């Protein structure tokens, strides 16, 4: 917690003096009672002593003053606030190697299911877009809060062609820059989640896409799924399609994203869940003085209530 107007805290000094004076007066009162030597007469004069109760209104009154002073100092705290313009672009590899079955039931089937669940778990206010990339990387669904459109597009994807990772990153960042009229001047908080299993074989190099993402301030989290033993059947022949993690790891590191390996459908879903929870909010310093003022009012009510109840007066 920090304070925007800490000079108000100087008012705590006279409050401390008041507390000290109260303690001194209470001790003098006790000394006076002890000097009253006729104990039996003292019991008749004051048969019921308030004891600890007489300090409650005073303590509540001091607490009220303390809370109000701190409230005037305008305390702030770091809070998590929703990203109302938050945008997540999902870039999904639909190249031929996605048909490999080293991830059950297949790489593409596992990716589709994980993507569907990921989108379903995002807050409704989030903008979600979809890039399906193979030899090219078109934006299939521009950023939208209609998440059902994205899920439908994922369900209907077809596997074909090569792998254009650099193009996918470029298309995703371009879609983010086109979110609304203010996106150019005030970019929305955004994140690209890219899933791929292969080497970049088409379009611009991965480095070019990474440079664009860095320029736009958009982190790219990459998920490499599949195994070293992956293979697909083409023309009656099995062709090895091992997962290529280093390039995806470099892309994530360059852009400030995170890199994950998901060799199975379950692992892939866990990765999606983790990314989904990490891009949902941003930290912001907000003033919390109303809480202190409210606490001060509660303390004032406590002081008045206890004094009225026990001593038939309001301090």
Give helix 56-72 / helix 12-35 axis angle, nearest 10°: 170
Q: How far apart are CA 160 and CA 129, in angstroms?
A: 21
Locate the domains of the chain by residue range. 2-78+286-311, 84-279
**Domain spanning 84-279: which superfamily?**
von Willebrand factor, type A domain (3.40.50.410)
- Sequence-distant (6+) residues with CB within 8 A of 19 are 62
Q: How far apart are CA 236 and CA 222, in angstroms?
A: 32
pLDDT at 39: 53
Chunked mean pLDDT (size 10), the chain, 315 residues: 84 85 76 54 55 79 87 83 78 88 84 85 87 93 94 90 92 90 80 85 91 93 82 75 85 91 66 67 77 86 80 69
b/e string for 55-84 if b means 16 or more Cβ within 10 A? ebbbbbbbbbbbbbbbbbbbbbeeeeeebe
Scan for tokens 């990716």, then name that residue: 111
Burial class (CB in 10 A: 0-12, 13-18, 19+), 109: middle
pLDDT at 164: 92
Among 256, 127, 145, 267, residue whose Cα is nearest residue 195:
267
């Amino acid at each position: 917690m920090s304070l925007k107007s800490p000079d108000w805290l100087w008012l705590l000094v006279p409050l401390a003096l008041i507390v000290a004076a109260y303690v001194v007066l209470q001790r003098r009162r006790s000394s006076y009672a002890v000097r009253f030597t006729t104990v039996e007469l003292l019991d008749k004069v004051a048969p019921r002593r308030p004891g600890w109760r007489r300090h409650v209104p005073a303590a509540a009154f001091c607490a009220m003053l303390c809370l109000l002073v701190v409230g005037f100092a305008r305390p702030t705290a770091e809070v998590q606030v929703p990203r109302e313009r938050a945008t997540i672009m999902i870039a999904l590899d639909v190249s031929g190697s996605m048909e490999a079955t080293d991830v059950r039931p297949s790489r593409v089937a596992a990716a589709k299911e994980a993507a569907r669940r990921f989108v379903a778990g995002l807050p409704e206010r989030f903008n979600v877009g979809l890039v399906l990339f193979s030899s090219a990387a078109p934006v299939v669904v521009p950023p939208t809060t209609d998440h059902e459109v994205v899920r439908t597009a994922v369900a209907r994807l077809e596997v074909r062609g090569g792998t254009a990772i650099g193009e996918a990153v470029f298309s995703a960042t371009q879609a983010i820059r086109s979110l609304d009229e203010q996106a150019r001047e005030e970019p929305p908080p955004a994140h690209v989640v890219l899933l791929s299993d292969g080497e970049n074989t088409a379009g611009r190099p991965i480095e070019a896409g990474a440079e664009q993402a860095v320029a736009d301030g958009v982190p790219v989290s990459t998920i490499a799924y599949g195994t070293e033993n992956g293979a697909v059947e083409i023309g009656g022949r099995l062709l090895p399609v091992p997962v290529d993690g280093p390039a995806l790891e470099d892309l994530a590191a360059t852009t400030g994203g995170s890199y994950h390996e998901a060799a199975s459908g379950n692992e892939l879903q866990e990765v999606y869940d983790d990314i989904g929870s990490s891009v949902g909010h941003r930290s912001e310093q907000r003033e919390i003085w109303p809480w202190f003022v409210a606490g001060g009012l509660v303390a004032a009510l406590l002081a008045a209530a206890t004094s009225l109840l026990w001593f038939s007066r309001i301090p």
